[in-house]
Amino acid sequence: TALRDTDIVAEIVKRKGIEAMSHVLTTKVDIKTAVVILEGIRNCLEVGQQSFINEQGDNEFALIVEQCGGLDTIEQMQEHENQQIYEIAVEIIESYFQVEEVDLDGDADDMLLQF
């Protein structure tokens, strides 16, 4: 997915590539493999953001990552001891998923309620 060719990425996603990459991240993989997989997921998400937005305005590929448990795994990787894995995980979450703001000072007026 390094070239981010829309047709190639779409075919990878169609053939359950996001699910497969997300699953591999749950297994014991070496750092290099984890980095390559995270970059592959990030590239899919980038193509999704550019070309695969549904009627609700959501990145269809991000929805797949969420539905297959990939987001949970990527969130856990924010705790990884390897700096590169940590940075890619944070970048993926901040770029392609809504980050919930935590109100640390307890000021309820600053909180946004969503229904």
Which pLDDT tens digit goes with each residue over 14-69?
999 999 999 999 999 999 999 999 999 999 999 999 999 988 999 999 999 999 99
pTM higher than 0.75 for the full model?
yes
Angle between helices 17-25 and 60-67 (to 10 degrees): 40
Tell me the domains of the chain and their CATH numbers.
6-99 (1.25.10.10)
pLDDT tier, 98 (very low <50, low <70, confident <90, very high otherwise):
confident
Confidence (pLDDT) at 2:
54
Over 50: is that where the pLDDT of 10 sits?
Answer: yes
**3-class secondary structure for 83-98?**
HHHHHHHHHHHHHHCC
